[in-house]
Amino acid sequence: MGKLDTRTKEYMRDRTRFAAMFNFLIYDGQPVIDPEKLFPLDSTEAAILDSNGVEIPVQKIRDSLEAWEILEDNQAVYVLLGEEFQSAVHYAGPVKDMVYDSVNYVDQVNQLKRKYRKKSDEAEVEFDSDGVKIRLTRAEFLSGLRKGDKLKPVITLMIYLGTEKWDGPRSLHEMLHFPDERLKAFVPDYKLNLIVPRELKEDDFAKLGPDLGFLLKVLNHGKSGMVELLADSQYQSVDGETALLANDIASLGLDIVLNEGGKANMCKAMEDHDKKKEVQGCIRGFRLVFGDNTSEIIKLVSKEFQVTPEYVINIMNTMPYAGAAAQA
């Protein structure tokens, strides 16, 4: 996606939108996750894997990662929330996200190990975070964790921003070939947390809020459904950033104009787009009759659509024979 991919990540990193996505996924749109309780983390997932005494560095870069702070018995606990954006179907999606989560858990374990294991002349003697000497059991020492240690849960959400049907796997088991169905019970599955705009129902969009609701609704309808969608007067004032991103992701080809308040009238943008197509069709028709007589074409088209010659020239300059229009 290139620059569009970067813009999408920046757009989705907005805490209100980030929270709305996970509230939709986990809580059916209820505002349980407070944007003010989200804290951005380094989206680089890095860990050192120990394979038979050989340390293997692993690094993966997520699109976005946030820590959600929750109060439990007046103590702050955290859940890690990660987002991944896909412009095309990813046929290894479950493995991709499973690796992100697994590397994060490995890193959490390694952090706990580093917390306890400090250089000491006494084997199996450790220090807690306050520097107080503690003694681990042999099992705890070998594990690098104390018996009561808990890791932070990691939830990864994949958001598909394509307009085509998602026909990829949604779980690890769907990617595996089991010659004997009884084997499934012994192979842990990994479910892909996936949002596909085309699969959303009408009442889902309101649960996502006005910005995300509009963006995913555009992807739900696709380019062919824009005339019907943008006939709704509620889209006369759409968040400008959302309008520009929706226009690019769905390849709508609209000329988006933002007002002083940073809003876009998507209804008018659609009307202008349709009018532009009609004018282009008229220009092509007159060219069959008048050939390169650009001045005559401009005069006739201006009269036909009650527009200025400059408007016609601007459109002609986006079409073949632009040089003739520019000189008219």
Q: Tens of pLDDT along the chain (328 residues)? A: 566 788 888 998 899 999 999 999 999 999 999 999 999 998 777 666 665 555 666 677 889 999 999 988 788 999 999 999 999 999 999 999 999 999 999 999 988 888 777 644 345 555 666 666 567 788 887 888 888 899 999 999 999 998 789 999 999 999 999 999 999 999 999 999 999 999 999 999 999 999 999 999 999 998 888 888 888 888 999 999 999 999 999 989 899 999 999 999 999 999 888 888 888 899 888 888 888 788 888 888 888 888 888 888 888 888 876 444 545 5
Considering the domain architecture, whether residues 188 and 284 belong to the same structural domain is answered as no
Q: How many domains does the chain have?
A: 2
- Give the domain extent around 327: 275-328
Residue 68, phi then psi, degrees to nearest 5: -100, 120
- The confidence score (pLDDT) of residue 303 equals 87
Asked if residue 56 belongs to a domain, the reply is: yes
Considering the domain architecture, whether residues 64 and 185 belong to the same structural domain is answered as yes
The answer to whether residues 33 and 19 touch, using CB atoms and an 8 Å cutoff, is yes
**Residue found under tokens 């991919």:** 5
Q: 156, 181, 198: which is the final residue of a domain?
A: 198
CB atoms within 10 A of CB 247: 19
Considering the domain architecture, whether residues 14 and 154 belong to the same structural domain is answered as yes
* Distance, CA of 296 to CA of 294 (rounded, Å): 5
Asked if residue 19 belongs to a domain, the reply is: yes
* Structure token digits, residue 299: 């005069």
Considering the domain architecture, whether residues 160 and 63 belong to the same structural domain is answered as yes
CA distances from 326 to 218, 283, 312, 317 (A): 35, 15, 11, 7
Considering the domain architecture, whether residues 189 and 283 belong to the same structural domain is answered as no
Considering the domain architecture, whether residues 50 and 174 belong to the same structural domain is answered as yes
* Distance, CA of 235 to CA of 221 (rounded, Å): 14
Considering the domain architecture, whether residues 177 and 313 belong to the same structural domain is answered as no
Asked if residue 85 belongs to a domain, the reply is: yes
Asked if residue 174 belongs to a domain, the reply is: yes
Asked if residue 188 belongs to a domain, the reply is: yes
The answer to whether residues 208 and 220 touch, using CB atoms and an 8 Å cutoff, is no
**Residue found under tokens 């796997």:** 169
Average pLDDT, rounded, for the chain: 86
Considering the domain architecture, whether residues 15 and 155 belong to the same structural domain is answered as yes
Asked if residue 159 belongs to a domain, the reply is: yes
- The confidence score (pLDDT) of residue 122 equals 47
The answer to whether residues 64 and 83 touch, using CB atoms and an 8 Å cutoff, is yes
Helix (H, G, I), strand (E, B) or coil at 173: helix
Asked if residue 30 belongs to a domain, the reply is: yes
Considering the entire predicted model, what is its pTM?
0.81
Q: What is the CA angle 276-278-282, rounded to 5?
A: 115
Considering the domain architecture, whether residues 296 and 191 belong to the same structural domain is answered as no
Q: 137, 170, 198: which is the final residue of a domain?
A: 198
* Distance, CA of 25 to CA of 7 (rounded, Å): 23
Considering the domain architecture, whether residues 281 and 186 belong to the same structural domain is answered as no
Asked if residue 78 belongs to a domain, the reply is: yes
Considering the domain architecture, whether residues 35 and 158 belong to the same structural domain is answered as yes
